[in-house]
């Protein structure tokens, strides 16, 4: 090989491998399909390798194309970071809001009440309440708070303070009772499986209490409102339940494991000042929640 491949040509190949088609790679990069095709043709000319099987529809990579695309992936990520930095410098970093993805509970009960304590700087914050885990790699969010530890070589993952849980009921529901002897005879309010097999969803099945459940929801706020309205007993975060004097904490003799939240951001953004400002605020918000 008499000359080195153009980094932009390698990035184009990596984009095709990531997005599956020439057109998708072109859309993601904001260029014409012909530009992507021309770059890959130039890369083939320099390397002397067939990188795309043109007998197939779409963008089927050859074995050589797949191996070269895998090797070029770190370079493509670096070029994306350079482009993002250039755009930020041109428009001013302060003009770009930080997007944070989390569950409804984290958004409504952990972060929103502490918005006044977010240090000034940047263009603000976008809180995205997500029922599904969004992709940080695809830049659908800058930061994410997850209740299950995420995985990914491109992610920076920090452990947040754990959240303890207990069973609660409204004083009106208990009607003077000081203890609960048989949960199977009560009205139980529980999480559904929107976020997968979580401890909050498994304890009812483990105890054979499914028949006592009158409501399931993926919304922590819905569970709180149902309990506050006297609808039954639910497993709720202690730190938030403590805000409601009408709720009574029940000792049912159960060992309930605390929930472990995780703060996650893309490795490319760990030195971004606006992202770090928000990440530190999220960490402080969870500490304040747990410490009371």
- Does some domain include residue 1? no
Which one is predicted more confidently, 183 or 3?
Answer: 183
For residues 61 and 52, is the Cβ–Cβ distance under 8 A?
yes
Q: In which domain, by residue range, is 49 found?
A: 7-91
Token code pair at residue 41: 């043709």
Q: According to the model, what pLDDT value does residue 119 have?
A: 86
- Does some domain include residue 196? yes
Check which CATH number belongs to the domain holding 277 and give it. 3.40.190
169 and 246 both lie in a single domain: yes
- Does some domain include residue 260? no
Q: According to the model, what pLDDT value does residue 25 have?
A: 79
- Does some domain include residue 53? yes
pLDDT tens digits for range 210-256: 899 999 988 888 999 999 999 999 999 999 999 999 999 998 777 77
144 and 169 both lie in a single domain: no
* pTM confidence score: 0.63
Check which CATH number belongs to the domain holding 60 and give it. 1.10.10.10
């Amino acid at each position: 090989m008499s000359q080195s491949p153009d980094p932009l040509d390698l990035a184009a190949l990596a984009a095709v491998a990531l997005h599956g088609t020439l057109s998708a790679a072109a859309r993601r990069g904001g260029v014409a399909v012909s530009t992507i095709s021309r770059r890959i043709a130039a890369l083939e000319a320099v390397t002397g390798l067939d990188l795309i099987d043109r007998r197939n529809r779409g963008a089927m990579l050859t074995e050589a194309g797949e191996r070269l695309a895998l090797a070029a992936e770190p370079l493509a990520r670096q070029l994306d970071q350079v482009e993002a930095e250039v755009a930020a410098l041109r428009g001013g970093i302060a003009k770009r809001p930080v997007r944070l993805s989390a569950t409804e509970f984290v958004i409504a009960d952990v972060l929103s009440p502490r918005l006044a304590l977010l240090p000034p700087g940047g263009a603000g914050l976008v809180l995205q309440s997500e029922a599904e885990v969004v992709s940080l790699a695809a830049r659908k969010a800058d930061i994410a708070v997850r209740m299950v530890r995420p995985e990914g070589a491109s992610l920076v993952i920090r452990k947040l303070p754990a959240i303890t849980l207990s069973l609660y009921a409204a004083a009106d529901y208990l009607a003077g009772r000081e203890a609960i002897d048989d949960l199977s005879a009560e009205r139980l309010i529980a999480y559904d499986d929107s976020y997968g097999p979580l401890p909050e969803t498994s304890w009812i099945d483990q105890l054979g209490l499914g028949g006592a459940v009158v409501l399931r929801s993926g919304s922590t706020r819905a569970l709180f409102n149902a309990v506050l309205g006297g609808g039954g007993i639910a497993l709720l975060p202690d730190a938030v339940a403590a805000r409601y004097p009408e709720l009574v904490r029940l000792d049912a003799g159960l060992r309930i494991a605390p929930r472990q939240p995780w703060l996650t951001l893309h490795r490319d953004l760990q030195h971004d000042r606006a992202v770090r400002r928000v990440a530190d605020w999220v960490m402080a918000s969870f500490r304040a929640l747990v410490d009371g």
